[in-house]
Each structure stands twice: as C-alpha cells, then as structure tokens.
Amino acid sequence: MNWDQVNQSIDQQYDRMVEDRRYLHQHPELSFHEKETSEYITKRYDELGIPYEKDIGGYGIVARIEGGKEGKTVALRADFDALPIQEENDVPYKSKVDGVMHACGHDGHTSTLLGLAEAVWSSKENLPGTMVLIHQPAEEYAPGGAKPMIDEGVLDGVDAVFGTHLWSNAPLNVIQSSRGPFMAGADRFEITIQGKGGHGAMPHQTKDPVVMAGQAIVELQQIVSRRIDPLESAVLTIGRVEAGNAFNVIPDTAKLVGTVRILNKETQESIIEEMDRILKGITTSYDADYELDYVKGYPTVNNHEKEVSYYLDQGNEIDGTAGIEEVPPVMGGEDFAYYLEERPGAFFFTGAQKEGHYYPHHHPKFDIDERALPTAAKALLHGYRKYQENN
C-alpha cells in the first residue's frame, strides 16, 4: 500500500470534507433523533459505491472496505449527534435548527471519516486487511449509541478500534492522548430530600428540605477533597437545585442533580458509599428521608498501551501533524470507552483550535478550524496502518 498516496488523496478530499461538515453543521439533530443525518451519510456511501449496513443500534451505520491484501480488521469510529444549544456564531454555515447545534465537533468527525473512506476506496486493491467505518449516533446522551451498536455486533470480527475527537482546546493539528485512562467515567445522580412543608413563618412545624439540601451541598463537596486519595482524580458537581415555588412557603421536597467523574471503579464505589452515608446522616438528624438515584454512565476511556504508543511514540510520522503531546486525563466523558472495553485500541484528540475564537466544547460559540479535518483522517489512517504492520 502506498500510504503517502492515500495521504495525498485525503488532502484532495479537503473541500468535500468541508462541504460535508458545513452541511451537517447547518442541519444538526439531537441524540437518538438523527434520522436525516443518517440518511445523508448513507447517501454519500451510495455515491461512492462503498457497501454499508444501516439502522444498527438505532441510526448507526457501518461501512466496510475489504482490502485486496491480507491483514487484520480494524474499526474507525465517528459520532454524529448534536446538542440542545442555540448557536451564537455568525457564520455562513450556522445551524438552521432553533435550539440545536453541533457544539462538540461531531459534524467534523463524520466528514473526516467520509473523506478517509473516499481516499481509501480508490486504492482498496492495495489495502491490507479490512477497514470498518463506524458512524455512531447518540454519543452526547447516556446510555449513548456505542453500547447498542456493540450489542448488535458492530465489533464482531474486529481486531482493534481507533477514534479521534476534534479538540478546540488543543492547538491546530497537535495530537494529544494519554497512556491508560484518558477520559473520565461520567455518572449522573439525582437526590430527592423528603421533608415536611409548611408556612415560612412557622419553620418549627416543618422538616425543612431546603436547609437539609444546603447542608448536603456543603458536605458532598468534601467527599473529593477529604475522602478520596489526592492522587486519584475525581469530580463531584451539583448542577441543578430545585425546591419550592413561593417565597413564604417551606416545600415538602428539595432536589439536587449532578454528575460524578472518575478514572477508576474503586473511586466510583467510594463516592457512592460516601454520598449515601452523608445523606443518611443529614436526613436522620431531621427525622426526614431521602432517595439517591445514582446512574453509572459511560466508563473510563482506557487506552491500550501498544495501540496508544502508535500516537505518543510514533505520531510524528502522521502527515500534517503539528506535534505530539502526552497529556493528563481529561474529566469529560466519552462512550468510546465501551469499544475499548471490548477490543484493543486508542482514542486521541486532534487539535482544532480556531485562532482568535477560543470557545470550549458545548459553548454556543464553539467552532473548529477545518484544516484539522484532513489531519484527523490521516491520524486515523495511521492507527490502521500501524496495527496492520505490528500484528
């Protein structure tokens, strides 16, 4: 296989990758509702003549390029759902859907994989092994799209899997990753404190859930700072507080909703145990009650040593890269973790920071430098190539 020739072909796909990305950016769809996005992707594969299966685990699509040379079967994954955010960018490709926006780069992930597929398809007779192109819905909202696709056999016969995330926090075309844990497990919890409401002027006749909620907020924040080993990364954030609807009424209940991020299961179990202990202690002292609904979300993204070394140790071989950085784990979550629980592989960031436009992921002004698209495609191809050469 002439890999340099494929890289050149990827560069030649740049305009089409931008066109695909901008179309998808203008027509975003939320998790589990990506019908038109799925149809757009399958239409592109129909144009190319690349075989695929659709409606896997929802709106998931899997295309396959059977190489003409003997080799392994390696999967490359891109997600394609958007977020419930009103876009604030003033650009020609601004979202046309009120309250929905590609604020995390998934439009770019999709166009990257489509561009790579077109570049490889023209040289498939010289390709070693089989390239499996996974287009996954519903990454943004647990339970996510990865698990249903895996349950329906998307990894059957696959030897390894690689994925990338266009990353606005990293300089353009810089590749970032970590050995072992790379992105955090992402859990969700909802706490309901059941007290006894009454008149705001007669608090002695009530069991005030607002006071209990306030104490719980303070105490829960001390789990990470005082109960977890300082060398273990963890986050506990309360993002929503609900109680009452009048200034002079003590409500019956208060609700706290938040997230926990962890890098290992032992820390996760410790946090759940401590949350339960704290809530029990506070509510018992008020002769009240509580309910903790703790939902374990995506597991930790754990890169496999051999496969991530293709990037951290050999990433400078990627055409167009501006550097390689081994970075600390990021506490954001990613359901790519499920693939890595099933098969060896690696997940990495491709820097896509847009100069003068420094907005993070999930921000209404989020955007990427589209020059990262071909680099991301070449980096995925690099993982595919290295796995074929080393196995």
Contact 259, 279 (CB under 8 A): no
Is the CA virtual torsion 356, 369, 100, 141 positive or negative? negative
What are 121's two structure tokens?
């398809």
204 burial type by CB count under 10 A (0-12 exposed, 13-18 middle, 19+ buried): exposed
Between CA 95 and CA 107 the distance in angstroms is: 11
DSSP designation for 97: S
Between CA 121 and CA 14 the distance in angstroms is: 16
What are 276's two structure tokens?
């339960």
Is 102 annotated as belonging to a binding site?
no
Is 140 annotated as belonging to a binding site?
yes
The reply to whether 139 belongs to the active site is yes
Between CA 5 and CA 124 the distance in angstroms is: 12
User: Residues 34-38: contacts with CB within 8 Å, 24+ apart?
Assistant: 34/58, 34/59, 34/80, 34/81, 34/137, 34/138, 35/59, 37/80, 37/81, 37/110, 37/137, 38/80, 38/135, 38/137
**One-letter amino acid identity for 237?**
T
**One-letter amino acid identity for 261?**
R
Distance between first and last Cα of the chain: 16
Neighbours of 266 (CB within 10 A): 12
Check 81, 87, 118, 367 and give the catalytic one: 81
Between CA 333 and CA 347 the distance in angstroms is: 12
Classified as helix, coil or strand, 81 is: coil
Give the HSE-up count for residue 390: Cα atoms under 13 Å, Cβ half-sphere.
16
The reply to whether 53 belongs to the active site is no
Is 165 annotated as belonging to a binding site?
yes
Is 382 annotated as belonging to a binding site?
no
Q: Residue 167: phi, psi to the nearest 5?
A: -125, 110
Check 29, 87, 139, 274 and give the catalytic one: 139
What are the catalytic residues?
Answer: 81, 139
Binding positions for Mn(2+): 104, 106, 140, 165, 362
